[in-house]
Amino acid sequence: MYGTTTVGARGQIVIPASARKDLGLQPGDQMVVMGKFGKVVALMKADQIEDLVSMIMEKIADPAIKKRIQKQSRELLKLVGKK
């Protein structure tokens, strides 16, 4: 946990300096915004999405779930300009 931030009038937030430093975030880095349950928001560097998907795929045995994750990850990678 790095602290709190406030959403500005234009929908912008400032990521705390300690988080930017620890996570190696630089001006111009593209971030993916993810949400879950209408309550949780997560940010992730776009260039790390492929690594995350690969780690998840290694742990999934169910072919139907794998197929669903592969489809969603392809859509996400298109959004961030990876494929």
Residues 6+ apart with CB under 8 A from 34: 41, 42, 43, 44
Count of beta carbons in the 10 Å neighbourhood of residue 20: 15
Q: pLDDT tens digits, residue range 37-73?
A: 888 888 888 888 778 878 888 888 888 888 888 888 7
The per-residue pLDDT for 82 is 61
Least confident of 7-11, 56-60, 73-77: 73-77
The per-residue pLDDT for 18 is 94
The per-residue pLDDT for 6 is 93
Element housing 21 (H / E): helix 17-23
Determine the angle formed by the axes of helices 63-79 and 49-59, rounding to 10 degrees: 180
Domain spans in the chain, listed from the N-terminal domain onward = 32-79
Residue 25 identity (one-letter amino acid): L
